[in-house]
Structure 1
């Protein structure tokens, strides 16, 4: 049996040290990239646009407490916090709300962009911006000043941007409204269940169909009327336009009874003598989570504390020195209509005995690594 000589052993040792050095260099380099993409938690920074000095302290759980002279300064600091800690999450949410996921992630995300455009999410964002008050826009601008300070001033963006070669973004008003429109759509997205119920009604008799509507322990019964059988071709066409698979095999099936709730306890019934409010906004857990806890103090004893969403100024669920609030908005807020179209002209649809011409809207969806897609939406 041959054994390596002194020279062979020295070469193997040298190679081992080289590999160890390369590994340590990669680890240190990765740590530096991560560190440089995060905002500092100590020291002083100069933020243009502040009306007065702002202080931010973090508790043991890294929850931020902002002390500012007025609400505008507090929101600018909040924008700085959001972008410094959740910029990649913000990037994905704003792109989804604007129907531009494929621009970053390629053609595989085109079905998502198409569905969001057909559902009207980017269009809603434009309407919200157009109808916003001057004061609302001014406060959003203060928030955006904090967001864009992080984007422009920090030497490195989060590693996800580097890995995908994403450009340094610039946030505008439309991005804020797009994120709000996306949240509204996701919270009320029951149109898939409309198709699921219709598919079940086509395949089951009344007694079996009722089993899917029964809620154990619930008082009373769900009233329901089975619709006339729908053409499965029509149903399949509707699912195709919404980028759905067979609804009976859809993972949404267990969510037929999905809902939301809120509870209020009167002061006379609470141990503290104050009113109690509990709610369940039914948002799924994520990493990072959708919500970002923040505590804003401003002016003469004013406060705004609770759950914020990175990309939106203010607090979604929380409390101040006077009241508490939260949302519980998951319900049946969407309806689908199957229109009868003319076989001679697909833009003509029937309403009773009358035929009406649909409006069309063309949207160009950018695609990473490919040509833009033109999507025609009918209204």
Structure 2
């Protein structure tokens, strides 16, 4: 036995060093896939030399004679730093994720193939103008030049994700860029989710008034009563069954992280512009923080593009680019600065199409039966058999898969659901707005330059160095028949022409402002137009809590505005929504028979200042209580329709408290007694405390909201593998909450991590028109998408602290490396 032990010991002495040596060699091999700091390459098709100079933050400063060559430089830099991200995004748009990830993404591929995102992008190539075409081709030239590089000795030729999954990128094309841009419309689309929710409620037998209880309009709107959907669509009424995944189809699109949960996610943002008459410098200040799902790496990539010759004088663009596209979407040039928020205009309608019972290949139109369009699609599945299905469409658009959001369970017999959506148009000119940003010199120029911008509709604020400020919301907004009383809120009969779109609003009639009397403009996804605006945009505006804070801190503030005040506003963590609920909840329990612990919690919350701040337990207590209040009030009534609808809804709860609800939602079904809202609030408080103590320990004093509310940038796909997620995800403690300007949205129906921050400010920019070089920028992770890079996560903690960097034009200080691209001789 002793000999065996000695033998094992000797074996371990040999094996351990071998394992450590192999691990070290593997680390060296993959880490050396990082690009060299300096280099030179010849590229066919360049008109002249291009330099890519990286500063200490990893931000590339790209200089070229014309915009096409500058795009080549950006494509080269994107490929060096974000190749895996680019590859996943275009494969998603093509419905080819299963070639990378296997059966887990069949459902997502099926949905994206059904939407035919790539075919819409291909059709749009025909409407791309020459300046944009030149930039698209230049960008592809730069990406492919990096793909053709040999790499270092003893180094992985590609980022580690390619090696782990055993895949390789294909050459980049202009079509890939249009697909990448089109995926932004996918990620910002939300209305279809609202329609399915209202459909599910109608299928449960809820009345229009009860549906409005659950999804009320904002106070500034007064929509017509929703028609009886059961009668309009021929719905049955009764209990619902939960959807089941079939053939790899997931009812919710969440196979490889938050980025692909497009249609259920909330989208939000803040922006504002303050005119020079109200600033300390006498020049405008612009601020912007678009809120998106958190990813690793960040969706945005900071860059500076300089074109030295094409426009007669050097022109600069600085700001946030999208890996996969040659444009600076959010930022500034030499004369103006701009920022976006999602308008959330209703640009999607679901049409219930009646199928011919005698011929399932036909559906009913206003003029009789017509044949479905159809095409066979083959999804290649890594490690599995191909999945073949028939994609169908009607005159309105693609037929949604039955598994999408469990929609088949809600539909009448012999019917399908088709989706009409602006983003699926084959004449999308949105990309044509990109090159125009080089030559914009005024607010009026900027507003005019956005005419090609069709999707996704955005609320844009802008200022110029002459002191003008403005706003425009460009995009295609459908015009609906005045007889259509549904007005985009729920699915409609596809066989009735009343519900057909009548065209789109003319560009000249889209919302806009220039130099308003208040001297400031701000948007935060709630209603952007006054009661006098003559056109319908949506009834599903976001609640006005963040807009209230923008108004209080910026629009209606009396102190002269500065960039620092904008930064403080972006860092604001006061939560009007939770304060409002705190006051109502505690009022309900004033006469309740509480335990000593519950009484202590109420007193703690009454003293709370409403800030979702680090080191505080009150934000977690309030979030937990509000979450449980939603569950105890509505889950029994809504059954399987509840989970997708679950989020904290102050306006919805308020209807119960003030007696204006169409039914008594606080009374629980299945009990022998009648509960009021005070009973439900006390039950929710007790259940919340039990749940929170189970998750975070019994010492309430030790709870720290920022530690619980960790902002998690999810890697695609390694966030799904616990061991890999530790290395590839980018997580950082974060303040804020769902109703704060420093926003941190959580996924409350995630049973394991309901308070993790999955959706926040993806980028922050503050632009000082008195000196644009003092403008500041930050994104959520770092410039590199390579986990071995020091720039993979080096911005995350600064982002969480609402700090930022400068990206001045002119000679680069603290140069960390330069690549030179030159034309390849014929």
Q: Which of 25, 31, 46 is the matching residue for 2:41? A: 46
**Structure 1: how far apart are the matches of 2:330 and 2:371?**
43
Mark the CA change 1:127 to 1:189 in structure 2 (over 3 Å): closer, same or farther: farther
Query: Given the alignment, which residue of 26, 29, 32 partners 2:29?
Result: 32
- The answer as to whether partners of 1:54 and 1:73 remain within 8 angstroms in 2 is yes
Equivalent of residue 334 in structure 1, options 336, 340, 348: 348
Corresponding residue of 1:163: 164
1:278 aligns with 2:287: yes
Say which of 297, 312, 315 aligns to 2:328.
Answer: 315
Separation in 1, partners of 2:183, 2:100: 18
What corresponds to 2:65 in structure 1? 69
Q: Hey, what does 2:306 align to over in structure 1?
A: 297
Query: How has the CA–CA distance of structure 1 residues 255 and 44 changed in structure 2, closer, same or farther, with 3 Å as cutoff?
Result: closer
Say if 1:219 and 1:311 are closer, same or farther in 2 by CA, change over 3 A. Answer: same
SS in structure 1 of the partner of residue 272 of structure 2: strand
Q: Per-residue displacement from partner, 1:207-229 (whole Å, max 9, x unpaired)?
A: 543333347xx643553414322
Alignment of 1:378 with 2:393, yes or no, is yes
| Inter-CA distance 78–195: structure 2 relative to 1 (3 Å threshold) | same
- Kept after mapping to 1: 8 A contact 2:199/2:229: no
CA deviation vs aligned residue, 1:56-90 (integer Å, no higher than 9, x gap): 33233222222223222221111111111111111
Q: In the alignment, is the contact (CA less than 8 A) between 2:376 and 2:388 conserved in 1?
A: no
Q: CA deviation at 1:117?
A: 2.1
CA gap of 1:165–1:240, structure 2 versus 1, over 3 A, is closer
8 Å contact kept, 2:190–2:264: no
- Is 1:363 the equivalent of 2:377? yes
Residues 113 and 245 of structure 1, relative CA distance in 2, 3 Å threshold: closer
CA distance in 2, matches of 1:189, 1:257: 7
Q: Contact 1:188–1:329 at 8 Å: present in 2 too?
A: no
Count of residues in Structure 1 that have an aligned counterpart in Structure 2: 366
How much has 1:125 moved relative to structure 2? 1.0
Q: CA deviation at 1:34?
A: 2.4
Residue deviations 1:313-351 (CA, integer Å, cap 9, x gap): 121111100122333235122111111121111232223
61, 73, 96: which one pairs with 1:100? Answer: 96
- The answer (yes or no) to whether the contact 1:213–1:222 under 8 Å persists in 2 is no
**Bigger proportion of residues as helix:** 1
Corresponding residue for residue 278 of structure 2: 269
- The structure-2 alpha-carbon separation of the partners of 1:360 and 1:246, relative to structure 1 and needing over 3 Å to count, comes to closer
* 2: CA distance, partners of 1:278 / 1:264: 6
Residues 316 and 333 in structure 2, CA contact (< 8 A), matched pair in contact too = yes
Q: For structure 1, which segment, 105-114 or 355-364, has the greater mean C-alpha deviation from structure 2 after superposition?
A: 355-364
Superposed CA offset, 1:83-107 (max 9, x none): 1111111111000111111222223
CA contact (8 A) 2:114 2:391 kept: no
* Pair 1:257–1:76, CA change in 2 (3 A): closer
* Equivalent of residue 324 in structure 1, options 337, 344, 354: 337
C-alpha distance in 2, partners of 1:168/1:256? 29
1:212 corresponding residue in structure 2: 214
CA-CA distance at 1:307 after TM superposition: 0.5
| 1:12 counterpart residue number | 9
**2:18 aligned to 15, 21, 27, which one?**
21
Question: In angstroms, what is the RMSD of aligned CA positions?
Answer: 3.3
> Aligned to 1:335, what secondary structure does the other structure show?
strand
Question: How much has 1:129 moved relative to structure 2?
Answer: 1.6
- Contact 2:108–2:250 at 8 Å: present in 1 too? no
Taking a change above 3 Å as real, the CA distance of residues 337 and 261 of structure 1, as seen in their structure-2 partners, is farther
Secondary structure (helix, strand or coil) at the match of 2:360 reads coil
Q: Deviations over 1:274-324 (max 9, x none)?
A: 233334433212111111111112213311111111111121111100122
